[in-house]
Amino acid sequence: MTDSSAVESLLQEALGIYENEPTMRTELEGYAQRLREPLRVAVAGMVKAGKSTLLNAIIGEEIAPTGTGECTRIITWYRYAQTPRITAYPVDGEPSLLPLTRVDGRLVFDLGGRQASEVERIVVEWPAENLRRMTLIDTPGIASLSEGVSALSTRFLTPQDTPSAADAVIYLMRHLHASDVTFLEAFRDTSAASTGTVNALAVLSRADEVGAGRIDSLISASKVADRYRTDPSLRALVLDVLPMAGLLAQSSRTLRQAEYEAFVALAGLERTQRERMLLSADRFVTGCADQGISEDEARALLDRFGLFGVRLGSALVRGGAGSATALAHELARRSGLDLLLALVTRQFDARSSTLRARTALAGLEALVRTHPRAGSAVLGTGIERIKANAHEIRELQLLSALRSGQVPLPSSVTADAERLIGGSGVAPAERLALAPEVSREEIRSAALAELDRWRALTENPLVDRGALEACQVVTRSCEELVARAETGRHSLEAVTAAGGHS
C-alpha cells in the first residue's frame, strides 16, 4: 500500500469516529483533500527578500505583486486552472471575484476599495505549466516592518496545533540571520509534528547584489551559498542552499523583443563607452539618451533587469546570443532558475506523496491528541504503524537527524548515508552517485555493493545502538534500490514483490 492510500483509509476511519463533530470533520476532509492535490509549496522569507519576484519567475509571468503595493501583505495562493480567475476571501463576508487587470504587462489585484488587512487570502487560478505540479503560496515577509503582517505569515506557516498550510517551503534570505533559523526550526517542528523531517530549500536571493552588481556577482554568491550549505545551524533545516538572481530570472522568462533590441544596441557600442555607461544607474540613463533610448525605456530596463542584468544581457549578446529566445534561455540559466527548478523536481516533486502524507499524518496526530474520543486510540496506533512502515518518511527523519549531528555514525560514512537515503535527490542514480544515464544493471551492481556494506555495518557489534537504527534505515534504502533495479518498479511494494527483506 502506498503512503497516501494508507493515510487516506486512516482519515476515513477518523471521519467515522468524529462523525457528529462538523469542525473536526471539516479539518479531516481538508487533510484528505490535500492528499489528492498538488504539493503545496510556500515561498517565504524576510521582508523584501525577493519572494514574489521569484514566484513570478517560476510561473513565467508577472502575476504576483512585487515592490511596495498593499497586496504584497496578503497571503496569495497560485493554483493551476485552465481559465484564469482571481478570488478574494475577505476576513468577514463572502468571497468575490477580482477583475483580471493588467498594467504594463503586470497583473494588478484590484481589491475594490477593501484594505489589505480586510482580506484573509487571495486565490489566483492560472494556466501556468509549473503550477500543475505544485500549488505556490506567496507569503508576506517574516520579520516585516509591520508586526501584524509578519505574524500573519508565521501563524499561517507555523501554526501551534495543526500542520503548516504548506507541505514544503522555498525559503529566501539575503544573509543568514538568527530569525531565519528560528523560522526554519519552527517550520520543521510544527509542520512535521513530532516527526522532525527536513522539507525546505533555501535560496540565497538577490544574488546579483552580492558583488554590487559586478558581472562576477553570481560567482561570489555561489561561494556564500556553499558556506551556508555547510553551516551547522542550516544543514539540519534545509535540503540545499542555492544562489539566485530572481529579478533576472523573472525578466528573462518574460523578455520582450524591444528589450532584446536595446541589449543589441548596447552590445554594439564601443567598449569603453559602454563600460562608462554601466558604472551607475544615473550614467546609464544619461548614456541611453545619447543612443536614442528614451529615459523611460532606460529606467524600465533597469527596473526589470537591474544594472547587473543589463551588463550581463549586453555581454551575452556580444558573446553570440542571436535572438530574444536565445538570450532569454541564457539569462534564465545564469540566474539560477534552471538549477532551482531542477532541485524542486529532485527534492520536492519526487517526494510529493511522502510530504503530503506526512502533513496529513501530522494533522491527524494533533487532532487525536487534542480531541481524544471513544475509539480514537486506534487512530494513534494506525499513525504509528504507517510511520514505521513508510520508509520514505523515515528517510526524511534520518536525514534531519544525520545533518544535525544527532546520530553517532562514523564521519567516514555519514555523507554516503545521507546520499543513499535521498539527501541529494531520490532517483536511484542520485542516491548511488552515478551518472543519470547509467544502465539498470550498473545501478543494480552498485546498489548490491552498498547493500553488502551497510548490512555488514548493521551486524557489526561495535556500532553504537543509536547508529544501528540509522544503519538499518540505510540498509532498507539499499534493498529498495536493488529491488527497483531488478523489477523496474518504483514503490515500497517492489521489495515485498521481490521476496525481499522489509
Ligand X SMILES: Nc1nc2c(ncn2[C@@H]2O[C@H](COP(=O)(O)OP(=O)(O)OP(=O)(O)O)[C@@H](O)[C@H]2O)c(=O)[nH]1
| Contacting residues toward Mg ion, per CB under 5 A | 51-52, 72
Q: Is 51 in the site for ligand X (CB under 6 A)?
A: yes
- The SS3 assignment for 214 reads coil
Q: Is 71 in the site for ligand X (CB under 6 A)?
A: no
Of the candidates 446, 447, 470, the one whose C-alpha atom is nearest the C-alpha of residue 460 is 470
| Residues 6 or more apart in contact with residue 419 via CB below 8 angstroms | 430, 431, 432, 433
**Nearer to ligand X (CB atom), residue 344 or residue 467:** 344
Nearest distance, CB of residue 73 and Mg ion, angstroms? 8
Q: Is 493 in the site for ligand X (CB under 6 A)?
A: no
Beta-strand relationship, 241-243 and 101-103: unpaired
Of the candidates 298, 361, 308, the one whose C-alpha atom is nearest the C-alpha of residue 335 is 308
Partner from ligand X, Mg ion, none binding residue 484, C-beta < 5-8 Å depending on class: none
Cell of 288: 541611453
Residue 142 per-residue DSSP state: B
| Residues 6 or more apart in contact with residue 116 via CB below 8 angstroms | 70, 71, 73, 74
Dihedral of CA 161/162/164/167: which sign?
A: positive
Question: Which residues ranging from 192 to 251 are in contact with ligand X (CB under 6 A)?
Answer: 206, 208-209, 245-247
Distance CA 402, CA 394 (A): 12
**Nearer to ligand X (CB atom), residue 53 or residue 195:** 53
The number of angstroms, rounded, from the C-alpha of 182 to the middle of its chain's C-alpha atoms is 18
Out of 14, 34, 40, 50, the only residue in the binding site for ligand X (CB under 6 A) is 50
| Whether 196 contacts 400, CB under 8 Å | yes
Residue carrying C-alpha cell 476576513: 91
Q: Which range in 50-58, 191-199, 310-318, 339-347 contacts ligand X by CB under 6 A?
A: 50-58
| Whether 201 contacts 170, CB under 8 Å | yes
Distance CA 197, CA 235 (A): 12
Partner from Mg ion, ligand X, none binding residue 206, C-beta < 5-8 Å depending on class: ligand X
**Nearer to Mg ion (CB atom), residue 141 or residue 363:** 141
Distance CA 65, CA 106 (A): 8
**Nearer to Mg ion (CB atom), residue 71 or residue 238:** 71
Q: One-letter amino acid identity for 256? A: R
**Nearer to ligand X (CB atom), residue 141 or residue 423:** 141
Q: One-letter amino acid identity for 329? A: H
**Nearer to ligand X (CB atom), residue 88 or residue 207:** 207
**Nearer to Mg ion (CB atom), residue 45 or residue 243:** 45
Distance CA 67, CA 45 (A): 15
Question: Which residues ranging from 126 to 155 are in contact with ligand X (CB under 6 A)?
Answer: 140-141, 144
Nearest distance, CB of residue 245 and ligand X, angstroms? 5
Out of 7, 8, 38, 48, the only residue in the binding site for ligand X (CB under 6 A) is 48
- Among all residues, whose Cβ is closest to ligand X? 141
**Nearer to Mg ion (CB atom), residue 40 or residue 346:** 40
Out of 58, 66, 218, 467, the only residue in the binding site for ligand X (CB under 6 A) is 66
Contact letters (x/-) for ligand X, 28-47, by CB under 6 A?
-------------------x
Nearest distance, CB of residue 92 and ligand X, angstroms? 24
The number of angstroms, rounded, from the C-alpha of 116 to the middle of its chain's C-alpha atoms is 26
Out of 72, 154, 252, 359, the only residue in the binding site for ligand X (CB under 6 A) is 72
Partner from ligand X, Mg ion, none binding residue 428, C-beta < 5-8 Å depending on class: none
| Burial readout 352-381 (b: 16 or more C-beta within 10 A, e: otherwise) | bbbbbbbbbbbbbbbbbeeeeeeebeebee
Q: Is 430 in the site for ligand X (CB under 6 A)?
A: no
Partner from ligand X, Mg ion, none binding residue 208, C-beta < 5-8 Å depending on class: ligand X
Nearest distance, CB of residue 441 and ligand X, angstroms? 44
Cell of 442: 550498473
**Nearer to ligand X (CB atom), residue 66 or residue 359:** 66
**Nearer to ligand X (CB atom), residue 51 or residue 356:** 51
| Residues 6 or more apart in contact with residue 143 via CB below 8 angstroms | 46, 47, 150, 177, 179
Cell of 23: 469542525
Q: Which range in 24-32, 51-59, 268-276, 326-334 contacts ligand X by CB under 6 A?
A: 51-59
Cell of 362: 501530522
Contact letters (x/-) for ligand X, 300-329, by CB under 6 A?
------x-----------------------
Nearest distance, CB of residue 155 and ligand X, angstroms? 16
Q: Which residues of this chain interact with ligand X, rule CB under 6 A?
A: 47-53, 66-67, 72, 140-141, 144, 206, 208-209, 245-247, 306
